[in-house]
Amino acid sequence: MAIAKRYDFVLFFDVQDGNPNGDPDAGNLPRVDAETGVGLVTDVCLKRKVRNYVQIVKTNGEVSYPGYNIFIKEKGVLSRSIAEAYKNLNIDLDEKPSNESDGKKRNEKGKAQGDEVLRGRDKMCKDFFDVRAFGGVLAIGANAGQVRGPVQLTFARSVEPVVALEHSITRMAVTTEAEAEKQGGDNRTMGRKFTVPYGLYRAHGFVSAHLAAQTGFSEDDLKLFWEALQRMFDHDHSAARGLMTTRALIVFEHGSALGTKNAATLFERVDTKRVTEGPARKFADYQILLDGAPVKDLPVVVKI
């Protein structure tokens, strides 16, 4: 059953001695706002971690549980997944449409048309958690249209400016025989590593009941999404990312699909406070406040 209420939420997470989201156009430096020095983590990065978590908990061996496959995944071929959906619907995209209202002939072999696109779209929403949650452009390959997802996230921004440090690192080996000969037996490879000493990041998110009705995003899906936000960093550790942890999740649950207050007003009820002086280097240097009171539980659900 699709969700019936609107939700807005605030997510806090931190990074210690790691690169939370490198920019490939800047040599993989941590992303920052060039004018303020505030650290950035993209919404795409956060969605990736949610997808990875769902893939872990909803997979039996290498097979995903029904309805919990992931569309955007490592080594995935998007057009192949869409073609598979039509195959499972018994729609032959090389023959004329089975329903004459969709046309008397196939406009382009291998391409869906008319109501076939809607059926393909619904099938993709049913089979893939991330399509059901985040939406996606499915107008590729066999064409299943476009889905606007009910769950949307903003960029995360650090609550204070961050410093990007550059470290020289050494590997006691070389890649090829040619490199070994060139270095005369001194098999060392120099490299660079970028980290943020510490940063507390804040992201905002929105869950639309109206769009959930279109994709079939259910109460169980929502529960899994909240769980993923809390635990996604526990299953995403790497040397590059250092120590990343979800610190607070504050969910505003409205009493209806339309909601009762605008999101900006609700988000203003959440604040951070520095409780130490000097550069922040740990979460204990901050307090997260809801209506002026420290937040201790995870998550906190506020009914509106």
Q: What is the pLDDT along the chain (304 residues), one digit of tens a residue?
A: 889 999 999 999 999 999 999 999 998 999 999 999 999 999 999 999 999 999 999 998 777 899 999 999 988 999 999 999 999 999 999 998 878 888 888 889 999 999 999 999 999 999 999 999 999 999 999 999 999 999 999 999 999 999 999 887 777 777 777 777 776 666 677 778 899 999 999 999 999 999 999 999 999 999 999 999 999 999 999 988 999 999 999 999 999 999 999 999 999 999 999 999 999 999 999 999 999 999 988 899 999 8
**Cis peptide, bond prior to residue 294, ω within 30 of zero:** no
The three-class DSSP label of residue 205 is strand
pLDDT of amino acid 166:
87
Beta-bridge partner residues of 238: none
Q: How many CB atoms lie within 10 A of CB 282?
A: 11
pLDDT of amino acid 239:
86
In the sheet that holds 286-290, the strands lie side by side as 270-274, 286-290, 293-294
Q: Which residues contact 41 (CB under 8 A, 6 or more apart)?
A: 20, 21, 31, 155, 156, 201, 203
pLDDT of amino acid 185:
63
Please state the pTM of the whole predicted model.
0.93
pLDDT of amino acid 274:
97
Q: Tell me which H or E stretch contains 231.
A: helix 219-231
pLDDT of amino acid 33:
97
Sequence ranges of the domains in the chain: 7-64+148-167+193-303
| Residues 29 and 260: beta-carbon distance below 8 Å | no
Phi and psi for 26 in degrees, rounded to 5? -130, 40
Q: Tell me which H or E stretch contains 45.
A: helix 43-57
pLDDT of amino acid 184:
66
CB-facing half-sphere around the CA of 119: CA atoms within 13 A: 21
DSSP collapsed to 3 states, 64-131: ECCCCECCCCCCCCHHHHHHHHHHHCCCCCCCCCCCHHHCCCCCCCCCCCCHHHHHHHHHHHHHEHHH
